[in-house]
């Protein structure tokens, strides 16, 4: 699905740099803009800083001791890197991880836990659970076993449950860190479909992937990271068919990475 | 030429492997044998008394033959419960702080080292400290509360380590998932990490209970060496014969064994001591079995 509508600017970074303990620079001066209703892929070889960048966007780097993030991260006209309610921001900007990581409880409990903690009235929770499972294309498979253990699901189902868990909080940005790397091709396909339906609802989906085919299949825009720098970004088509930077050209042609 | 040398090498490696395996098996077997002999000896020697209700629940005799260990048996369990009530929350709090919150600085390093040192303090030292501090300075006398606090002093460091390991073994991505859903560190700990770590924590608590249950040295000078006659119909918490009174002296099974062997004048004291030892041992074995069972059941249920 190519870019159908270039929506409003949803989240943007301006000159973001990340330093780990001992002033080691992990990411240098990255400025990128992500729009509503778009899927954006972050590609690059291992250790290029794409996951570090993703973790900036929902302030997860703050959980790492000694990690410092410089620059502006603009979200709804506010620099969340400077002043943000950490916990509200993380509800509005969801994150899905590389390994499916459901909690050790029931399918229902996985989605309801955060809702309960955020004070959603009990009467509403049931509806939200169903709605978010439907959005993650998991409802039909689990509707009869909502109270069985989440880890009894297959890897792909677990990952869609993790997406549903994030969707339940009604985010407008969803970050995915190589969400398919632990999944088989069929499960991968299901997750990619889900990404597209999320984007169609106006959510800004940002996905880190080492799989260039995946970026080609789903992403409207793509950004290439290399050695802690953002080298080139643009429409996915252009990035893959007509890369300007020599390093990106080598990467796309499979010379490294 | 080359092939033969490879064959020779392979045969040599296989022979060494066989020897290593049999040495390891021999070591393991001799350990099991040693344990088996000791347990067997204690059980056989105490078998005559162990199943005798008048011994298990009867009152001890100072000078006459016969007599039981009823109060000692009750005291041991009551002291254990009081100790756990004090030490489990303390250890939980300390472990959660160290794993989830503690910054990486000098004070935390000192605290961690203090816990290590406390874990390796000889129990007689803990007992004498308890005697000076709880019994004399605080004026609580030989009492359950003095004993429980002394036991807490060496139970807490062990529990902290067990709970710390249990929490650290929960995969990092569980923590990340909770935080990424906008939950606070405390909510993540309480609703995600603790339940995931619970089987290991419970197993650890029960195993530590076995150690506390068999402790003697720390109690001789804190909980005392006398067992007042208990009146189970009495609920006056200030009355020394009220079993629930935490300010009464309370001799436990382990202390009882030590006492009758060192200064007992009762006839057949060997039989009483053997019987008590067998009862103590059976209790501790039960703790271990229960710990394994609960740990396994819980983790099976949690990871269904």
pLDDT tens, residue by residue, B215-267: 999 999 998 888 777 777 777 777 777 888 888 888 888 888 888 888 777 77
B36 and B96 in a single domain? The answer is no
Beta bridge partners of A30: A16
B22 and B68 in a single domain? The answer is no
Query: What confidence score (pLDDT) does residue B260 get?
Result: 83
Q: B171 contacts in A (CB within 8 Å)? A: 101
Domains of chain A and CATH, by start: 9-252 (3.40.50.300)
Higher-confidence position of A50 and B231 = A50
pTM over 0.90: no
The per-residue pLDDT for range A124-143, each reduced to its tens digit, is 999 999 999 999 989 999 99
Q: A91 contacts in B (CB within 8 Å)? A: 181-182
A4 pLDDT exceeds 70?
no
B17 and B94 in a single domain? The answer is no
Last residue of a domain, one of B50, B70, B88: B50
B119 and B265 in a single domain? The answer is yes
Cβ distance B182 to A169 less than 8 Å, yes or no, reads yes
- ipTM of this predicted structure: 0.90
B26 and B99 in a single domain? The answer is no
Selecting from B187, B195, B304 the residue whose C-beta is nearest the C-beta of A117 gives B187
Beta bridge partners of A40: A206, A221
Beta bridge partners of A20: A24
Query: What confidence score (pLDDT) does residue B302 get?
Result: 67
Q: What is the mean pLDDT of residues A143-167?
A: 93
What band does B303 get if pLDDT is binned at 50, 70 and 90? Answer: low
Q: Are B142 and B249 in contact (CB under 8 A)?
A: yes
Written as one string, the DSSP assignment of chain A is --------EEEEEEEEEEEETTTEEEEEEEEEEEETT-EEEEE-STTSSHHHHHHHHTTGGGGSTT-EEEEEEEETTEETTTS--HHHHHHHEEEE-SS----SSBHHHHHHHHHHHTT--HHHHHHHHHHHHHHTT-HHHHTT-TTSBGGGS-HHHHHHHHHHHHHTT--SEEEEESTTTTS-HHHHHHHHHHHHHHHHTT-EEEEE-S-HHHHHHH-SEEEEEETTEEEEEEEHHHHHHS--SHHHHHHHTTS--
Query: What confidence score (pLDDT) does residue A2 get?
Result: 37
B15 and B141 in a single domain? The answer is no
How far apart are the CA of A223 and the nearest CA of chain B, in angstroms?
23
Q: What is the mean pLDDT of residues B269-276?
A: 84
The C-alpha atoms of residue B45 and residue B142 are separated, in whole angstroms, by 32
What band does A148 get if pLDDT is binned at 50, 70 and 90? Answer: very high
Selecting from B104, B181, B196 the residue whose C-beta is nearest the C-beta of A165 gives B181
Query: Is residue B46 classed exposed, middle or buried when 0-12, 13-18 and 19+ CB atoms within 10 A define those classes?
Result: buried
Query: What confidence score (pLDDT) does residue A256 get?
Result: 76
Q: A114 contacts in B (CB within 8 Å)? A: 178, 181-183
B64 and B14 in a single domain? The answer is no
Query: What confidence score (pLDDT) does residue B29 get?
Result: 97
B101 and B131 in a single domain? The answer is yes
What band does B1 get if pLDDT is binned at 50, 70 and 90? Answer: low
Residue B46 belongs to domain spanning? 1-50
Query: What confidence score (pLDDT) does residue A28 get?
Result: 92
Q: What is the mean pLDDT of residues A4-11?
A: 70
Q: What is the mean pLDDT of residues B43-67?
A: 78
A176 pLDDT exceeds 80?
yes
The C-alpha atoms of residue B124 and residue B216 are separated, in whole angstroms, by 9
pLDDT > 70: what percent of chain B? 96
Q: State both tokens at B19.
A: 């020897």
B85 and B187 in a single domain? The answer is yes
Checking DSSP bridges between strand A93-96 and strand A173-177, what pairing results, if any?
parallel
Q: Are A63 and A88 in contact (CB under 8 A)?
A: no
B96 and B42 in a single domain? The answer is no
What band does B64 get if pLDDT is binned at 50, 70 and 90? Answer: low
B131 and B214 in a single domain? The answer is yes
Picking from B180, B188, B302 by the largest number of A CB atoms within 10 A of its own CB, the best residue to mutate is B180
Query: What confidence score (pLDDT) does residue B95 get?
Result: 95
Count up the domains in chain B and report the number.
2
The per-residue pLDDT for range B124-166, each reduced to its tens digit, is 999 999 999 999 999 898 999 999 999 999 899 999 999 999 9
Number of inter-chain CB pairs under 8 A, A vs B: 68
B176 and B93 in a single domain? The answer is yes
The C-alpha atoms of residue B184 and residue A70 are separated, in whole angstroms, by 23
Mean pLDDT of chain A: 91
């Amino acid at each position: 699905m190519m870019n159908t509508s270039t929506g409003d600017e949803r989240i943007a970074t301006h000159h973001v740099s990340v330093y780990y303990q001992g002033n080691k620079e992990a990411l240098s001066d990255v400025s990128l803009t992500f729009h509503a209703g778009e899927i954006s892929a972050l590609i690059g070889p291992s250790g290029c800083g794409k996951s570090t960048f993703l973790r900036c966007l929902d302030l997860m780097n703050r959980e790492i001791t000694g990690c410092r993030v410089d620059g502006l991260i603009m979200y709804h006209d506010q620099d969340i890197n400077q002043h943000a309610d950490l916990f509200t921001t993380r509800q509005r900007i969801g994150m899905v991880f590389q390994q499916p990581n459901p909690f050790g409880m029931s399918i229902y409990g996985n989605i309801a836990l955060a809702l309960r903690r955020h004070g959603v009235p009990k009467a509403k929770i049931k509806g939200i659970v169903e709605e978010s499972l439907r959005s993650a294309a998991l409802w039909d498979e689990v509707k009869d076993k909502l109270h069985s253990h989440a880890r009894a699901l297959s890897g792909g189902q677990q990952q869609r449950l993790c997406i549903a868990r994030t969707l339940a909080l009604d985010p407008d940005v969803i970050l995915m860190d190589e969400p398919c790397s632990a999944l088989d091709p069929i499960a991968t396909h299901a997750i990619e479909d889900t990404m597209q339906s999320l984007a169609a609802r106006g959510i800004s989906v940002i996905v880190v992937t080492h799989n260039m085919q995946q970026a080609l299949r789903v992403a409207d825009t793509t950004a290439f990271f290399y050695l802690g720098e953002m080298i080139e970004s643009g429409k996915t088509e252009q990035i893959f068919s007509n890369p300007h930077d020599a390093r990106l050209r080598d990467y796309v042609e499979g010379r490294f990475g | 030429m080359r092939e033969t040398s490879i064959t020779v090498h392979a045969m040599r490696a296989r022979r060494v492997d066989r020897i290593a395996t049999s040495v390891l098996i021999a070591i393991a077997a001799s350990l099991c044998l040693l344990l088996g002999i000791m347990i067997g000896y204690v059980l056989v020697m105490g078998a005559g008394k162990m199943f005798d209700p008048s011994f298990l629940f009867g009152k001890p005799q100072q000078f006459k033959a016969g007599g039981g260990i009823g109060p000692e048996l009750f005291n041991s369990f009551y002291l254990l419960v009081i100790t756990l009530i004090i030490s489990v929350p303390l250890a939980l709090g300390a472990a959660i702080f160290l794993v989830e919150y503690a910054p990486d600085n000098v004070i935390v390093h000192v605290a961690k080292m203090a816990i290590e040192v406390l874990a390796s303090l000889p129990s007689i030292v803990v007992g004498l400290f308890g005697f000076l501090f709880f019994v004399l300075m605080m004026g609580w006398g030989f009492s359950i509360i003095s004993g429980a606090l002394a036991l807490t002093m060496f139970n807490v460091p062990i529990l902290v380590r067990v709970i710390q390991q249990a929490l650290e073994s929960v995969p990092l991505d569980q923590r990340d998932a909770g935080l990424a859903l906008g939950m606070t560190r405390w909510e993540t700990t309480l609703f995600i990490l603790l339940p995931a770590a619970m089987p290991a924590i419970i197993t650890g608590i029960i195993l530590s209970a076995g150690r506390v249950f068999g402790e003697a040295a720390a109690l001789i000078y804190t909980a005392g060496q006398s067992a007042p006659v208990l009146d189970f119909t009495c609920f006056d918490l200030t009355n020394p014969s009220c079993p629930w009174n935490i300010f009464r002296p309370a001799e436990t099974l382990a202390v009882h064994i030590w006492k009758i062997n060192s200064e007992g004048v009762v006839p057949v004291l060997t039989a009483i001591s053997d019987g008590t030892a067998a009862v103590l041992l059976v209790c501790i074995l039960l703790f271990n079995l229960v710990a394994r069972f609960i740990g396994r059941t819980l983790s099976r249920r949690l990871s269904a």
